Structure 1
Amino acid sequence: MTDARGSARPNGRAPHAPGTPCWVSLMVRSPAATEEFYGALFGWEFRPGPRQQPGPSVRALLGGGEVAGIGLLPPDRHLPVAWTPYFASADVDRTAEAVRSRGGTIGVGPLDVAGTGRLAIGSDPSGAVFGVRRASAHLGAAVTGVPGTPAWHELTTFESATVAKFYETVFGYDEEPVVSADFDYVTLHLDGRPVAGVHGAGGAVPRDRGPHWTTYFTVTDTDDAVDHVLHLGGQVLTPARDGVRGRTAVVADPEGARFALLQGPR
């Protein structure tokens, strides 16, 4: 399914600029089945993650470079299985305080994780979960721009203006709203480049999920990837369609974690 050639960056690479999406992680109930699914879909390989994390974890690799993290969801935690994006910070404690002061919450941390750095997990005022991290030895995703890697992050929430302002003040983004009477969307920019989107969906926000972030993964062919998702026991939530960023589809893995597939414009 994937070609792991591309921008694998060396261990000495520079840290991500503050505000940049820098990592994604997934907490699951069946790690072995999850590894089998994503390994077959994206060509990921896996190696053990930091031992100090709560429960076992693995790092997903493409061509030897790190792409994502997968951990075991504690059995006493009744949380949805979901992909969580992390945004880079030069000072996690200060960013966590900014999250709180602007109406968000911090549920985990800030704390140090050996081999990873300092991190916190919180939610914005609408309830969407995201992470903040300052890298130490582990700088975050080491492979980008090739099939099987995160390409885009999009927040689905009730309305874009208030929530986009939250992220703007916490991370220093610039906003680019879509001027439309029937489409509520804001693109968040950092140093002149788009890094994430905020979609105000109103009553169309799923009741079982509430406001949430969706990670888009690059694929060579969206329609082929959708077929592969179904063959591997996943679900199609939004069929493949063409859009501004290319051909996309929203799917879910066998445990219900939602993510999107993105085939760039040709």
Structure 2
Amino acid sequence: MTDARGSDSRFGETNARRAPGTPCWVSLMVHGPAATHDFYGALFGWEFRPGPQQLGPYARALLIGREVAGIGQLPPDRQLPTAWTPYFASDDVNRTAETVRLCGGTVGVGPLDAGEAGRMALGSDPAGAVFGIWQAAAHLGTAVAGVPGTPVWNELLTYETARVAKFYETVFGFEPVPDASPGRDYVTLHLDGRPVAGIHGTGEALPRDRGPHWMTYFEVADTDESAARLVELGGHVLSPADDTPHGRVATVADPEGARFALLAVRH
């Protein structure tokens, strides 16, 4: 992974309309939203307020009074795995959705209007990883960055990078930059010369029950303390905290099994 913030400003460009392709929002669909609100509220200090209801009960998480992420409720008859989903900005969600289809992906939801907030679609890449497309209107996306409790990076875990990197390059205009390290299958996706997301080819090491999927990294002040707190709240540590060139990282899951990462950024 790579530090994608560009600066430590808490607001900065998060208040501006994003360039197409920019990761602009993360959302989680769960079976028990009330318990999930309690979990993330205690872990990250989030508060919640109602959001667009076009996809059923949905709430926006706030930090410092600013929107950070969304949590919605899965239909009770759908036994889908819970997962954090990144949304990428688009000037025309209909056109982007059509490009997804033409490039071998699928569009499972939408495009549809989310009230006055904007227009969205959910798609999956050729390997099956789910992502969102967001055409902003009143809601521009995550409005605070660079502080604990905010998304700091999105990384795709998949079988191999070459095919899916080409897909995301065509759909969103990313410039794929492969890692030159021997034996490492990793591509950083750049937009306007800036790293915005990553693709990690893991071969057959993906969890069988999960398959290719996007992983959201949330910034924390202390990875070990946050991981311990997460366990107290009913979450699980999947990969213990480890030091990396970008900071100390732990891979974890919430009580419903949604995987994400805790990252104390190295300054």
TM-score (norm 1): 0.95
Secondary structure of 2:152's aligned partner = strand
- Given residue 168 of structure 1, which amino acid in structure 2 is its aligned partner? E
Secondary structure of 2:262's aligned partner = strand
CA distance in 1, matches of 2:108, 2:246: 33
**How many Å apart are 1:115 and its aligned residue?**
2.9
Counterpart residue number, 2:4: none
**How many Å apart are 1:145 and its aligned residue?**
1.1
1:41 pairs with one of 39, 43, 47: 43
CA distance in 2, matches of 1:8, 1:44: 17
Larger CA deviation: 37-46 vs 111-120: 111-120
CA distance in 2, matches of 1:81, 1:246: 26
- Given residue 35 of structure 2, which amino acid in structure 1 is its aligned partner? A
Q: Note the residue ranges of structure 2 that are not aligned, 5 or more in a row.
A: 1-7
CA-to-partner distance for each residue in 1:218-262, whole Å, 9 max, x for gaps?
A: 000111111011111100011111112211110000010000011
CA distance in 2, matches of 1:94, 1:54: 21
Secondary structure of 1:229's aligned partner = helix
Residue 24 of structure 2 corresponds to residue 22 of structure 1 = yes
Larger CA deviation: 129-138 vs 175-184: 175-184
Secondary structure of 1:145's aligned partner = coil
Secondary structure of 2:20's aligned partner = coil
- Given residue 195 of structure 1, which amino acid in structure 2 is its aligned partner? V
Structure 1 segments (4+ residues) deviating >3 Å: 8-11
CA distance in 2, matches of 1:100, 1:175: 20
Residue 64 of structure 2 corresponds to residue 63 of structure 1 = yes
Q: 1:47 to 1:166 in 2, by over 3 A?
A: same
Pairs within 5 Å for 1:41-190? 41-51=43-53, 53-190=54-191
TM-score (norm 2): 0.94
Secondary structure of 1:121's aligned partner = strand
Counterpart residue number, 2:10: 7
Residue 204 of structure 2 corresponds to residue 200 of structure 1 = no
CA distance in 2, matches of 1:97, 1:231: 44
- Given residue 135 of structure 2, which amino acid in structure 1 is its aligned partner? R
- 1:26 and 1:84 in contact (8 A); partners too: yes
User: RMSD of aligned C-alpha atoms?
Assistant: 1.5
CA distance in 1, matches of 2:105, 2:245: 30
**How many Å apart are 1:6 and its aligned residue?**
5.7
**How many Å apart are 1:143 and its aligned residue?**
0.8
Secondary structure of 2:40's aligned partner = helix
CA distance in 2, matches of 1:102, 1:10: 30
Secondary structure of 1:143's aligned partner = coil
CA distance in 2, matches of 1:229, 1:132: 30
- Given residue 115 of structure 1, which amino acid in structure 2 is its aligned partner? E
- 1:110 and 1:118 in contact (8 A); partners too: yes
Secondary structure of 1:148's aligned partner = coil
Task: Give percent identity, aligned residues only.
Answer: 68
CA distance in 2, matches of 1:218, 1:58: 21
**How many Å apart are 1:64 and its aligned residue?**
0.7
Counterpart residue number, 2:3: none
**How many Å apart are 1:7 and its aligned residue?**
2.1
Larger CA deviation: 152-161 vs 76-85: 76-85
The count of aligned residue pairs is 260
**How many Å apart are 1:9 and its aligned residue?**
6.4
Counterpart residue number, 2:237: 236
- Given residue 46 of structure 1, which amino acid in structure 2 is its aligned partner? F
Larger CA deviation: 238-247 vs 81-90: 238-247
- Given residue 42 of structure 1, which amino acid in structure 2 is its aligned partner? F
CA distance in 2, matches of 1:9, 1:33: 32
CA distance in 2, matches of 1:172, 1:213: 18
- Given residue 32 of structure 1, which amino acid in structure 2 is its aligned partner? A
CA-to-partner distance for each residue in 1:5-47, whole Å, 9 max, x for gaps?
A: 9624699x42111000000110111111100100000000111
